[in-house]
Copies of this chain bind each other. A is one copy, B any other.
Amino acid sequence: MPHTYGVEWKMIEIRVRTSRRVEARDITEEVRRAAEGKDGCCIHLFSLHTTCGLTINENADPAVMKDMIDALGRLVPQDYPYRHGEGNSDAHVKSSLVGGSLTVPLSAGRLVLGTWQGIYLMEFDGPRERRIALTVVK
């Protein structure tokens, strides 16, 4: 259920509960429900966290996001002698590689997405509840 901050904020918060340490969670429908009908040229999604990411990729064959998770795990393994003592340095690095925000065009109040595009929260250090700030850009 999106929570509205107040009239002056023009911002909506989307909360997502993830269920594994690393997970590609399709949030397209949550974003659609929160964004559609709004009067703007685009929406901006902003993760309020440093160990997850937001990305757009294929939402037809689930194997694509499994390959993505595995590929990121090979690039930045969890098990490595990192300095940071919390055991989640890999999640911080993946968060900066994938990025924590997205801007998606709105057209006549509808998200503009290509045929195969879905919006994903990339959880790299779950399970947790994640908060995403959604801003409608006029």
Contact = CB atoms under 8 A, between A and B. Distances in A.
Interface of A: 5, 8-11, 41-42, 44, 46-50, 55-58, 61, 63-64, 66-68, 71-72, 75-76, 82-86, 89-90, 92-93, 95-105, 107-108, 112-117, 131, 133, 135-138
A57 B61 contact: no
B113 A92 contact: no
Contact of A101 (B47, B86, B95, B103): B103
- Give the interface SS of chain A, mostly helix, strand, loop or mixed: mixed
B98 A96 contact: yes
Contacts of A72: 93
A99 B122 CA distance: 14
